[in-house]
A and B are shown apart, each in its own frame.
Chain A
Amino acid sequence: MKIFRGGTSAGPETPASSKPAQRLSRKSSGLGELARQLASEEVLCVLDLGATSPANIRYLTERGHKIYSEDLLVASTDPSLATKDEQGHPTLDAKRFLGDNLVYPNAHFDIVLCWNLADYLDESLVKPVVDKLWSMLKPGGVLLAFFHTRDAGPDAPCYRYHVVGNDLLEMQPIVPPREVKHGHTGTTHSAVGGGFRLQRVFNNRHIENLFRDFASIKFFLARDNVREVLVVR
């Protein structure tokens, strides 16, 4: 499963480091489905787990919803999370991570925008984070996540996703903010050079297992080697 796991930094040729401001537009079927829910008159609680996006905040607050922003990928680069597992291998302290992040009541959110988090997050954090998201979602709440296919390749850039229309996203290569520390546990940290490195590729079975506690899962295969997934608690 850890096809692209590697301890080395992304090279300087990483697009994120050379063209930080370039944005690409992309249709999103998953977002299109969510948009119908977001169009409701009810005030929804939405959690955006990507990099702080003015566009997303604008889009959601325009519709009267409450948005919570929390950049988990950046949070995962906190040096204090470094620890070792039972075999002495470097890993991240998931318990500590969840003590500092995703500190919300159970069944608090109607929608979680996960974007491509699972593809770039350290292996040790993925399952605990998904479990935590399950508990934070309301029954019937929806989570949107993107997963690269194998064809995307190990150098697939990590993007910020900006909602600019009901089914339209702008993708901007991530440039780590000035405070992001480079990973120091070798094989696990992913904040490197000009961006984050793809950690693994999930196939459909992996994705189904990852979200096995959820009530339903729906896949959308896009042309850009990305699968969009809508899961309902």
Chain B
Amino acid sequence: METPKSGEFAHIGKSVVIKGELSGSEDLYIDGRVSGTIELRGNRLTVGPNGQIQANINAKGVVVQGKLEGNIQASDRVELRASAVMVGDVVTQRIAIEDGAYLKGKVDIQKEASKSGSKPEAKTETASPASLAAAAPGGTSSGSSGSSQTSPEQKK
């Protein structure tokens, strides 16, 4: 995955080390080392390939390419790329995991609260790169040549 342009993300470079509470209201790209907590409610966090995070993360979306030790609570989606090494639990609505990613922890897919009581419409999105495999309740996914994922099919 390409490094995002700095104008689109706040960027923490690979030589930067942060300890403590990190919060913000814009998308964030971390390629350095962060330990503590990360709060980006409503925004997205990308952990770059050099990123080493020891923190619990609360964000709208999280993409992990580097190392993460901590739990993710994402209101929208989580992506673990092939180079990801994650130890911790994931609570999210949708998750996409590339073949080769390492995960030690729990995956808990939670339905959208706002849609409770009504059957959600399935929405499909194609992940990139093509090898991305997706997991989502109710989703119909392809194999190794591509993937799709859907919004939660509520079981109860």
Q: A residues bordering B, Cβ < 8 Å? A: 21, 23, 41, 43, 52, 54-55, 57-58, 61-64, 66-71, 74-75, 164, 177, 179
Contacts and interface: CB of A to CB of B under 8 A. Distances in A.
A75 B139 CA distance: 31
Contacts of B143: 55, 164
Name the interface size band of chain B.
Answer: 20 to 34
Given A61-B137, A177-B100, A66 B108 contact: yes
A179 B139 CA distance: 32
Given A55-B133, A164-B143, A61 B95 contact: yes
A140 to B, nearest CB: 21
B135 interface: yes
Contact of A69 (B100, B103, B137, B153): B103
B136 A61 contact: yes
Nearest to A56: B135
A210 to B, nearest CB: 24
Nearest to B86: A52
Interface of B: 85, 95-109, 133-139, 141, 143-144, 153, 155-156
Contacts of B108: 66
Contact of B102 (A23, A41, A55, A177): A177
Contacts of B139: 58, 62
A57 B153 CA distance: 15
B105 A54 contact: no
A62 B136 contact: yes
Contact of B104 (A21, A43, A57, A70): A70
A67 B111 CA distance: 15
B156 A41 contact: yes
A52 B155 contact: no
Given A61-B135, A70-B105, A71-B102, 4 more contacts: A43-B155, A54-B135, A57-B95, A58-B133
23 contacts: A23-B144, A41-B156, A54-B133, A55-B133, A58-B136, A58-B139, A61-B95, A61-B135, A62-B136, A62-B137, A62-B139, A63-B155, A64-B156, A66-B107, A66-B108, A67-B106, A68-B105, A71-B102, A71-B104, A74-B102, A177-B100, A179-B85, A179-B102
